[in-house]
Amino acid sequence: MDHGAVVARASSAAEDPGQLLLDTEHIRTAVLATIESIAPDADALRIRTDQPLRRQIDLDSMDWLNVIAALGERLSIRIPESDYGRLDSVDSIVAYVASRRTEESGAPPCCPAPAAAPLASAQHAVDGRPVTVRPIGPDDAALVADFVRKLSRETRYKRFMATVSELSQSKLEALTDVDQVRDVAMAATASNGQRETIVGVAHYGVDASGTGCEFAVAVGDAWHGTGLAGILMHALIGIAQARGLATMEGIVLATNSRMLKLARQLGFRREREPGDPGTVRVVRELRAGRSSPDS
């Protein structure tokens, strides 16, 4: 296979997704081109299509999520987080996409999912450890309080922009007693076989216009650098896109280089926050693909 031709054909398909044929060769072309765009050092000619991709290519958790997101955008399909486990090898990805596009080809034009559609749980392997990403509910108040209590002073400040050590009852209720419609809250949980603990949380609230939302995310100190924050952000972005929101934004401390880097990787652009040089506003378009990150 001529790899140059692969990339050229996939680029052409991306420009006009409505013309993309349903045959597996075109889908395979798009899959390989997407992998190359995220991992430019990957050699498509050496990839064994029936073997797990991440055993053959150096893709960390963030890269892998970016491959899935980019593939969904390139082929104009939404890949729900609950299906990520089905996307292992090139062959399994091709089969999944072909089945999804076949199903959707006979369906009426796609509309945003109903605002009250229930949120699903998803399983992930994070740094070799099993993690569940699921909706937060009122019964999680004690778990969320314990999660915040165990955060380092620095991490708490980066999340709440205040030196809190214990959440007030009203703040705890605001984080857990949510409608999962205008206020969406997700938790990443891990278990030692006997007890579930929260190791990361993410939230967005829909703004007054009803077309955008503002996010916040935090992960436990022991989970920094594992890709967990990216997994939670991908979950939030997927929910917001499925519900037809146009933009997502957040306020990040200017000194929080880790979060600013993650935002850039996820396609957020940076904007100055008037009157507050200590913070940065990051914004991502949701309806028209990823925003162009800062250079």
126 and 90 in one domain?
no
7/118: higher pLDDT: 118
Number of domains in the chain: 2
Contact 247, 212 (CB under 8 A): yes
Which CATH number belongs to the domain containing residue 87 in this structure?
Answer: 1.10.1200.10
pLDDT of residue 245: 93
On whether residue 111 sits in a domain, the answer given is: no
132 and 245 in one domain?
yes
146 and 225 in one domain?
yes
153 and 39 in one domain?
no
- Angle at which helices 24-38 and 3-15 pack, to 10 degrees? 100
167 and 93 in one domain?
no
276 and 132 in one domain?
yes
Return d(Cα 199, Cα 151) in angstroms, integer: 10
On whether residue 110 sits in a domain, the answer given is: no
36 and 158 in one domain?
no
Domain hosting residue 88, numbered range: 3-105
Order of strands across the sheet that contains 196-206: 122-126, 129-135, 183-191, 196-206, 212-219, 247-253, 279-285, 269-272
68 and 140 in one domain?
no
On whether residue 115 sits in a domain, the answer given is: no
Domain end call among 38, 73, 105: 105
Q: Is the pLDDT of residue 85 over 90?
A: no
155 and 82 in one domain?
no
280 and 156 in one domain?
yes
Confidence class for position 14, pLDDT limits 50, 70, 90: very low
244 and 178 in one domain?
yes
Q: Which two tokens stand for residue 176?
A: 């857990």
47 and 177 in one domain?
no
pLDDT tens-digit series, residues 156-187 = 777 765 556 677 787 788 889 888 998 999 99
Which CATH number belongs to the domain containing residue 126 in this structure?
Answer: 3.40.630.30
On whether residue 20 sits in a domain, the answer given is: yes
Q: What is the mean pLDDT of the chain?
A: 79
Beta-carbon count within 10 A of 160 CB: 15
On whether residue 163 sits in a domain, the answer given is: yes
Confidence class for position 5, pLDDT limits 50, 70, 90: very low
On whether residue 247 sits in a domain, the answer given is: yes
Return d(Cα 13, Cα 17) in angstroms, integer: 5
